[in-house]
Amino acid sequence: MPEPWTDVLDYACVWADGETEELGVVKKITTNAYWNFGKNYDGTRSHAEGTTFKLTELLQEDWADCRDMSATVHVFAKGIGCSSLNVRRIDGPFVYKPIKPIGMILWQVDTWNFHQVANYSGIYDACLQLDPSNPRISLGEDINGTYKNDLFDSGDWLPGIPFSYTEVK
Protein backbone atom coordinates (compact mmCIF):
# COMPACT_ATOMS: atom_id res chain seq x y z
CA MET A 1 0.00 0.00 0.00
CA PRO A 2 1.34 3.48 -0.85
CA GLU A 3 2.19 5.83 1.99
CA PRO A 4 -0.58 8.40 2.57
CA TRP A 5 1.79 11.38 2.49
CA THR A 6 3.16 10.41 -0.91
CA ASP A 7 -0.45 10.13 -2.10
CA VAL A 8 -1.13 13.65 -0.78
CA LEU A 9 1.83 14.98 -2.74
CA ASP A 10 0.83 13.00 -5.84
CA TYR A 11 -2.72 14.39 -5.81
CA ALA A 12 -1.85 17.92 -4.73
CA CYS A 13 1.02 18.40 -7.18
CA VAL A 14 -1.00 17.15 -10.14
CA TRP A 15 -4.13 19.07 -9.13
CA ALA A 16 -2.28 22.36 -8.53
CA ASP A 17 0.05 22.04 -11.52
CA GLY A 18 1.07 25.41 -12.93
CA GLU A 19 -0.03 27.49 -9.94
CA THR A 20 2.49 29.69 -8.16
CA GLU A 21 0.19 31.52 -5.72
CA GLU A 22 -1.66 30.05 -2.72
CA LEU A 23 -5.05 31.26 -3.94
CA GLY A 24 -4.68 29.44 -7.26
CA VAL A 25 -3.50 26.29 -5.49
CA VAL A 26 -6.49 26.28 -3.12
CA LYS A 27 -8.92 26.84 -6.02
CA LYS A 28 -7.44 24.03 -8.10
CA ILE A 29 -7.26 21.57 -5.20
CA THR A 30 -10.88 22.31 -4.28
CA THR A 31 -12.07 21.91 -7.87
CA ASN A 32 -10.12 18.71 -8.47
CA ALA A 33 -11.13 17.22 -5.12
CA TYR A 34 -14.77 17.60 -6.18
CA TRP A 35 -14.36 16.37 -9.76
CA ASN A 36 -11.41 13.96 -9.68
CA PHE A 37 -11.08 12.35 -6.24
CA GLY A 38 -13.48 9.47 -6.96
CA LYS A 39 -15.56 9.94 -3.80
CA ASN A 40 -19.33 9.64 -3.36
CA TYR A 41 -21.15 11.64 -0.72
CA ASP A 42 -22.18 9.84 2.47
CA GLY A 43 -23.31 12.18 5.22
CA THR A 44 -23.79 9.40 7.78
CA ARG A 45 -20.11 8.80 8.55
CA SER A 46 -16.74 10.55 8.36
CA HIS A 47 -12.98 10.06 8.38
CA ALA A 48 -12.56 13.40 10.17
CA GLU A 49 -13.63 14.02 13.76
CA GLY A 50 -12.65 16.97 15.88
CA THR A 51 -9.13 17.91 14.79
CA THR A 52 -8.18 14.36 13.69
CA PHE A 53 -8.26 13.35 10.02
CA LYS A 54 -7.95 9.65 9.15
CA LEU A 55 -6.37 10.22 5.77
CA THR A 56 -5.20 6.64 5.25
CA GLU A 57 -8.77 5.37 5.69
CA LEU A 58 -10.18 8.05 3.37
CA LEU A 59 -7.74 7.08 0.63
CA GLN A 60 -8.91 3.45 0.87
CA GLU A 61 -12.66 4.24 0.69
CA ASP A 62 -14.91 5.53 -2.09
CA TRP A 63 -17.09 7.70 0.16
CA ALA A 64 -16.66 11.04 1.92
CA ASP A 65 -18.65 13.65 3.81
CA CYS A 66 -18.22 17.41 4.17
CA ARG A 67 -15.67 17.02 6.97
CA ASP A 68 -13.60 14.68 4.80
CA MET A 69 -13.67 17.01 1.82
CA SER A 70 -12.82 20.13 3.82
CA ALA A 71 -9.99 18.17 5.48
CA THR A 72 -8.79 17.02 2.05
CA VAL A 73 -8.53 20.60 0.78
CA HIS A 74 -6.90 21.69 4.06
CA VAL A 75 -4.31 18.89 4.28
CA PHE A 76 -3.50 18.65 0.56
CA ALA A 77 -2.98 22.42 0.18
CA LYS A 78 -0.90 22.60 3.36
CA GLY A 79 1.09 19.60 2.15
CA ILE A 80 2.47 21.66 -0.73
CA GLY A 81 3.07 24.83 1.24
CA CYS A 82 -0.19 26.75 1.67
CA SER A 83 -0.05 28.11 5.20
CA SER A 84 -3.13 30.32 5.55
CA LEU A 85 -5.79 27.63 5.16
CA ASN A 86 -8.14 26.19 7.79
CA VAL A 87 -11.64 24.71 7.99
CA ARG A 88 -14.89 26.11 9.29
CA ARG A 89 -18.04 24.41 10.50
CA ILE A 90 -21.51 25.89 10.07
CA ASP A 91 -23.83 24.59 12.76
CA GLY A 92 -27.56 24.20 12.23
CA PRO A 93 -29.79 22.40 11.85
CA PHE A 94 -30.76 23.92 8.53
CA VAL A 95 -32.66 22.98 5.39
CA TYR A 96 -30.47 23.46 2.35
CA LYS A 97 -31.45 24.49 -1.16
CA PRO A 98 -30.75 22.13 -4.09
CA ILE A 99 -27.16 20.87 -4.10
CA LYS A 100 -25.27 18.28 -6.10
CA PRO A 101 -23.07 16.42 -3.60
CA ILE A 102 -19.72 14.97 -4.65
CA GLY A 103 -20.13 11.85 -6.80
CA MET A 104 -23.90 12.20 -7.12
CA ILE A 105 -25.88 12.57 -10.36
CA LEU A 106 -29.02 14.23 -9.01
CA TRP A 107 -29.59 17.48 -7.17
CA GLN A 108 -30.92 17.05 -3.63
CA VAL A 109 -32.69 18.99 -0.89
CA ASP A 110 -32.62 17.87 2.75
CA THR A 111 -31.61 18.99 6.25
CA TRP A 112 -28.16 19.06 7.81
CA ASN A 113 -27.22 19.39 11.46
CA PHE A 114 -24.02 21.10 10.26
CA HIS A 115 -21.82 21.55 7.20
CA GLN A 116 -18.04 22.01 7.05
CA VAL A 117 -15.91 23.77 4.44
CA ALA A 118 -12.32 24.80 3.79
CA ASN A 119 -11.63 28.43 4.65
CA TYR A 120 -9.07 30.63 2.85
CA SER A 121 -10.13 34.24 2.39
CA GLY A 122 -13.60 32.82 1.77
CA ILE A 123 -15.30 29.45 1.48
CA TYR A 124 -13.91 26.57 -0.59
CA ASP A 125 -16.41 23.71 -0.71
CA ALA A 126 -15.20 20.50 -2.39
CA CYS A 127 -18.26 18.60 -1.19
CA LEU A 128 -20.96 20.05 -3.42
CA GLN A 129 -22.13 22.18 -6.30
CA LEU A 130 -24.56 25.02 -5.63
CA ASP A 131 -27.38 26.52 -7.71
CA PRO A 132 -28.75 24.15 -10.37
CA SER A 133 -29.57 27.13 -12.65
CA ASN A 134 -25.87 28.11 -12.69
CA PRO A 135 -23.92 25.18 -11.16
CA ARG A 136 -20.67 25.99 -9.43
CA ILE A 137 -18.28 24.88 -6.71
CA SER A 138 -17.77 27.58 -4.10
CA LEU A 139 -14.31 29.08 -4.56
CA GLY A 140 -13.74 32.03 -2.25
CA GLU A 141 -17.28 33.12 -1.50
CA ASP A 142 -18.29 34.94 1.69
CA ILE A 143 -19.77 32.49 4.22
CA ASN A 144 -22.67 34.88 4.88
CA GLY A 145 -22.98 36.22 1.32
CA THR A 146 -23.64 34.42 -1.97
CA TYR A 147 -22.63 31.08 -0.47
CA LYS A 148 -25.27 31.29 2.26
CA ASN A 149 -27.85 32.70 -0.15
CA ASP A 150 -27.45 29.73 -2.52
CA LEU A 151 -27.15 27.00 0.15
CA PHE A 152 -29.28 27.98 3.14
CA ASP A 153 -33.08 27.73 2.95
CA SER A 154 -34.27 27.83 6.57
CA GLY A 155 -33.26 26.98 10.12
CA ASP A 156 -30.14 27.99 12.04
CA TRP A 157 -26.97 29.23 10.31
CA LEU A 158 -24.18 29.49 12.87
CA PRO A 159 -20.66 29.75 11.37
CA GLY A 160 -18.05 28.58 13.87
CA ILE A 161 -14.51 29.66 14.53
CA PRO A 162 -11.99 28.44 11.92
CA PHE A 163 -9.73 25.57 13.04
CA SER A 164 -7.04 23.27 11.67
CA TYR A 165 -6.50 19.54 11.64
CA THR A 166 -3.68 18.84 14.08
CA GLU A 167 -3.51 15.05 13.77
CA VAL A 168 -3.47 13.30 10.41
CA LYS A 169 -3.26 9.51 10.40
What is the pTM assigned to this prediction?
0.96
pLDDT digit string (tens) for 55-101? 999 999 999 999 999 999 999 999 999 999 999 999 999 999 999 99
Crossing angle of the two packed helices 4-15 and 22-36, in degrees rounded to 10: 110
Rounded alpha-carbon distances, angstroms, from residue 109 to 10, 151, 165: 34, 10, 29
**Which of 68, 13, 82 is CA-nearest to residue 40?**
68
Q: Is the pLDDT of residue 3 over 80?
A: no
- Asked if residue 87 lies in contact with residue 116, where contact means CB atoms within 8 angstroms, the answer is yes
pLDDT digit string (tens) for 93-123? 999 999 999 999 999 999 999 999 999 999 9
